[in-house]
Chain A
Amino acid sequence: MRRFVIPSLLFAALSSAVAHAHAFLDHANPLVGSTVASAPREVSLTFTQNLEAAFSSVQVTDANGARVDQGKAQVNGNTMRIGLKSLSPGTYRVRWHALSVDTHKTEGSFTFTVGGR
């Protein structure tokens, strides 16, 4: 009987913890570190947790540090999107901050490249 107690407690603890955690970047479009043939119209980030829209954001800059996004990210559930200006071939950096619904903060950045440079 006793040997089931600890696993049961652990299971109960894990089960009760659903939907509260740090928001990790699950995947992005364009893919992290990828090279795309044509300029994307937006960057889409999908996280492992739902986000607080008011405290989550993303910006996209070119190689000179100039903003190339359209300024305001849209957050829907665990996805954050931001529109892009017309991009010329080159490498761009995406910087994001996320606040999950239980107030855990995460951040990150990555690059993608337009064209074959």
Chain B
Amino acid sequence: MLRSSSCSRAFALAIILVALSAAEALAHCFVGPRFFPATLATDDPCVADEMSLPTVAWSKTGDVPAAAEWDISAELSKRITEDLGISIGDTWSNIHQPGGFTHAGFSNLETTLQYQLLKDGPHELALLLGLIVDWGGTGAVDSGLATPWSTLTPTFYFGKGFGDLPDSFGWVRAFAVTGQIGYQIPTRSFDIDSGSFIPQVLVYGASLQYSMPYLKSEIHDYQLPDFINHLIPLVEMQLSTPVANNFGNSGLTTGTINPGVIWVGTYFQVGAEAVLPVNHASGTGVGFLGQLHLYLDDMFPTTIGRPLLGGSSAPPQQLKF
């Protein structure tokens, strides 16, 4: 995460908020035999009824001396219909520089409207469209942790499991990838306070994941310990690159690469990742990201775990075989 001199603070905050916007929004995602877990740093490609509470991140900024930053966030995702969902989330941050400043407060409120374009079970393919809105002025603007302007980020998400490869590929079929790419548009082009342009930013990320539950139930049951069979090791990457209206600012790509693991249970999952900055502008040292994620559709299948409109799923049909 960026934290730099006062003259570029607005730009740095914009980048931070870009990173945070990609670090929330989660879903319970079945596509055919494939289960895509709720990834921690990027979003998965499904609408769902779920809640992340909390997501905790710790990292050090690229400043000299580096400031320590804690982020604690929560998000609630709710299906309106079977294919349309909305989520709302926020993050509380505390940034402390040894011998220097301490900033604490909430970032801007973030909402995401998502529409499920496709769920292709046989090919384990899911496509999703979303619009992320960061509502300006709803956070701690005075502390520099939020901006007075809003941002709109149309985003495309995808997920693809490799289970449809031929059986001869064996254990490789347990791999899956997910990803997202969005274009962040601020509602202002110039920040008068800092005298800097507010860039439009390409926000993108991906995950490579290996599903031990899939290996056990679809490929080969090695009768490993039950705990191991619930694990999904993964590597996530989240990046952002200013691409327009960036006069006088750095055009440097920032972001992190996060190796970690998710333990998937029946009603919730727990994830933990190391956070590795891709360059000095993205932070220093190794950070940490952890999350408890609740599957509301499994916990409350007849109440808050079903879509607001329509049933929790298509009416069951008698199977033919």
Contacts and interface: CB of A to CB of B under 8 A. Distances in A.
B82 interface: no
Given A14-B299, A59-B321, A108 B218 contact: yes
B321 A102 contact: no
Contacts of A52: 316
A27 B30 contact: no
Interface string B290-309: 00101101111110000000
B142 interface: no
Contacts of A39: none
Interface in A34-60: 34, 48-49, 52, 54-59
Majority SS at the chain A contact face:
mixed
B216 to A, nearest CB: 7
A111 B167 contact: yes
Contacts of A10: 53, 292, 294
Contact of A102 (B53, B223, B301): B301
A32 B295 CA distance: 27
Interface string B99-112: 00000000000000
A17 B219 contact: no
Interface residues of A, number: 39
B6 interface: no
A43 to B, nearest CB: 13
Nearest to B299: A17
A1 interface: no
Contact of B33 (A16, A28, A33, A107): A107
Contacts of A108: 33, 217-218
Report which residue of A52, A55, A102, A111 has the largest number of chain B beta carbons within 10 angstroms of its beta carbon: A102
Given A21-B266, A24-B213, A110-B219, A104 B316 contact: no
Interface of B: 30, 32-33, 53, 121, 167, 213, 216-221, 223, 266-268, 292, 294-295, 297-302, 312-313, 316-319, 321
16 contacts: A14-B299, A16-B299, A17-B298, A17-B300, A20-B301, A21-B266, A21-B298, A25-B217, A32-B217, A33-B219, A48-B266, A54-B318, A55-B317, A102-B301, A105-B313, A109-B218
